[in-house]
A and B are shown apart, each in its own frame.
Chain A
Amino acid sequence: GENVGLHLPTLSVQEGDNSIINCAYSNSASDYFIWYKQESGKGPQFIIDIRSNMDKRQGQRVTVLLNKTVKHLSLQIAATQPGDSAVYFCAEKDNTGFQKLVFGTGTRLLVSP
């Protein structure tokens, strides 16, 4: 199947900075995208999702942007905190199967105090 990939494997930021984690996807028919945070030794934790009929969605300190023209997804984290340090995965709903998510390769976010 098609892959969802990330541009940067590791992102290092200072506490208080804004972080931007990027994701490129290749399936132009994908209509749903989701971001997960995975801390060491834990399962992925749902952060935020977005459907393809939207280009922006905001949560608490997080914003997801979707650019369907260039098939690009980003996760913005405002005022990054040490507790945000984790691996972040984007995923897209596989439009060949209702319940199947295809995960990207992941970006590690390191937040320095």
Chain B
Amino acid sequence: DTEVTQTPKHLVMGMTNKKSLKCEQHMGHRAMYWYKQKAKKPPELMFVYSYEKLSINESVPSRFSPECPNSSLLNLHLHALQPEDSALYLCASSPDRGYEQYFGPGTRLTVT
């Protein structure tokens, strides 16, 4: 299995809602990432988990809360988002001794 999967594919939420994005990989990768991508822009790193511990937080607002329940799963909990948070949210993973990151298809998030 060489795939990173993400659910849901699309999500529409109000500014008072709480929702979660999910990511899963079964490649044995021990580093996992969340990125945010706005239209016609490159992905921007949000969080990095290494061996299930948060290793990088790119000064992301606290309304985004990551969680890594185990080595195969990565969640992004969303609460009180703003319309400007609407974007494609991408998950990626990378192997222990490699720098290449493998991306999932993303969750298209719309905040109304």
Decide if B20 is an interface residue (CB 8 Å cutoff). no
How extensive is the interface on chain A, given as a class?
A: 20 to 34
How extensive is the interface on chain B, given as a class?
A: 20 to 34
In the complex, the answer to whether A99 meets B56 with C-beta atoms within 8 Å is yes
Decide if B82 is an interface residue (CB 8 Å cutoff). no
B-chain residues with CB within 8 Å of residue A105 when the two chains form the complex: 41-42
B4-17, CB under 8 A of A: which get 1 and which 0?
10100000000000
B-chain residues with CB within 8 Å of residue A106 when the two chains form the complex: 40-42
Apart from A43-B4, A44-B103, A99-B94, 12 more pairs, CB < 8 Å: A36-B103, A41-B105, A43-B6, A49-B100, A99-B31, A99-B33, A99-B56, A100-B56, A103-B43, A103-B44, A104-B42, A106-B40
| Chain A residues within 8 Å of B, Cβ to Cβ | 32, 34, 36, 41-46, 49, 89, 91, 93, 97, 99-101, 103-106
| Chain B residues within 8 Å of A, Cβ to Cβ | 4, 6, 31, 33, 40-45, 48, 50, 55-56, 90, 92, 94, 99-106
